[in-house]
Structure 1
Amino acid sequence: MELTRLMMRLYFDKAMLGPGKVRLLEEIAEHGSISAAGRAMKMSYKRAWSLVEEMNAVFKEPLVDRSRGGAKGGGASLTPEGEAVLAAYRRLEQKARDAGAEEIALIGAMVAD
């Protein structure tokens, strides 16, 4: 049986970064909006906003730059720190897949069809 996905959560003293927050960062980068990112994930705006606030608070530098709405509308984008965290997380996932390929295949072979 083939691995369909690998989920990884990183826990630090006050911070946790996992698949949901990482996907939210990707969606913000793609859509340029917290609300659009939340919609893409079937998540309420309030929840998406809360997760962004949490990430911005626990990292030394904010990961998401937000601009308020108005006549031209608001928006959001990843800061250089946000882009770096996202890229590092995805590289770490790939390294885990590569380093654990043998064990992943062994476990997958034991999964019932």
Structure 2
Amino acid sequence: MAHPSPALRFRLLLDAEHALGPGKADLLEAIAATGSIAAAGRSMGMSYKRAWQLADDLNRSFAEPLIAANKGGEHGGGTTLTATGEKVVRAYRDIERKAKLACAAELRVLSRLLAD
């Protein structure tokens, strides 16, 4: 039987009131993929209200908005990531990747020590 694999999950504390973790990073990526806060939330199994609250928190956490709402149009508006939003996701994923690489040996040690 294979050993369980420990995994790292990062929550970056931006300040005393705001954080960026895997859920918010996933939400930003889902918004980029779907063009909608509602669709992004649904794809993650969360309510529109919760997705909107997280999106609003992300926008308030940074000097420039990460998410831009586009109003109107024949089929209604949509939502996109701003250039800053794209940079934030890229930076978070880079931190995540580098930390996993830096801790790979220790994670292997812990994996071998875990019960089956």
Interval of TM-score (by shorter of Structure 1 and Structure 2) = over 0.9
Identical amino acids, percent of aligned pairs: 50
Question: Cα 1:107–1:4, aligned 2, differ >3 Å: closer, same or farther?
Answer: closer
Corresponding residue of 1:53: 56
TM superposition shift of 1:67 = 2.1
Cα deviation code 1:73-97 (max 9, x no counterpart): 1211110000000001111111001
Q: How many residues align?
A: 113
Aligned to 1:36: 39
The structure with higher relative contact order (CA 8 Å, sep 6+) is 2
TM-score using structure 1 length: 0.92
Where does the alignment leave 5 or more consecutive residues of structure 1 unmatched?
none
Distance across 1 between alignment mates of 2:58 and 2:26 = 13
Other structure's SS at 2:85 match: helix
Q: Is the 8 A contact 1:56 1:64 kept in 2?
A: yes
Equivalent residues of 1:62, 1:82 under 8 A apart:
yes
Give deviations 1:52-108, integer Å, cap 9, x for gaps: 011101100000011245642121111000000000111111100111111011111
Matching of residue 106 in structure 1 with residue 96 in structure 2: no
Structure 2 unpaired stretches of 5+ = none
